[in-house]
Structure 1
Amino acid sequence: MSQNVSIIVWSKEGCSYCHDVKKYLAEQELTYKIVDITNNDHLRDILDAKYGVRHVPVVELGQGNVYRGVTEVGIEHLQLALDEFLVANKNQVNQ
C-alpha cells in the first residue's frame, strides 16, 4: 500500500473485534493509527456524525482529504474495502 495512504482504527480496550482488526493489519504489515474511545464517549458522537454508527471497530482508509469508513464488523469487510481502495488508488495513479 502506498506510503501516503492513511489507516485509522477507532477502537476501545477489551474489544475482541478491535483486537482482530489490529492483528490483521499487523499481519499485512500495514501501518495504522489508533483512536481509542475507551474513556472518550464524546468520540462516539464523531463516529455517529461521520458514519451513522456509535460502535467500534471502525476503520478509516484515506488519502488526502478522501476517506472511507469501514463500519461493518468482520475481517472480510475490511479485506474487501482494502482491495477496493487499492484498486481505486492504483487507477488514480495511472490516470
Structure 2
Amino acid sequence: MANEALNVVVWSKQGCSYCGEVKQYLDEKGIAYKDIDVTDYDDRRDILDAKYGVRHVPVVEIGQGNQYEAITELGVNHIEAALKNR
C-alpha cells in the first residue's frame, strides 16, 4: 500500500551523540518518529536483544504496515539508504 504512513522508531539513550545525530537528521528531513529511551530500562534493551541481537543504541526501525527494517549500524548514511528504498 503505497499511501500507508511511514513509521519510524528511534531507540536511544540520554547522552548518546549518535542518537542525537539520528534525531537531528530525521528532524531536518521532516520525518516524524517515536523515541524509545532505554537509559534506565534494561527491559527495553532486552527487547532489542531479542529482536535484533544487539543491546546498543541507536537502533532505528523503519516500516509500513507490518513490514519493518531495523538499522543497527551507526551513521545516518544507513538510515538515508533505508529511507530511499521506501
TM-score tier by shorter-chain length is: over 0.9
Name structure 1 gaps, 5 residues minimum.
87-95
Give 1:58's aligned residue: 59
Q: Compute the TM-score of the two structures, normalised by the length of structure 2.
A: 0.93
Give 1:5's aligned residue: 6
Letter in 2 for 1:32: Y
Q: How many correspondences in the alignment?
A: 84
Post-superposition CA distance 1:16-57 (Å, at most 9, x none): 000000000000000000000011011111101111111000
Name structure 2 gaps, 5 residues minimum.
none
Question: Percent sequence identity over matched residues?
Answer: 56
Greater share of residues in helix:
1
Partners of 2:4 and 2:64 within 8 A in 1: no
SS at 2:70's partner residue?
strand
Q: Compute the TM-score of the two structures, normalised by the length of structure 1.
A: 0.84
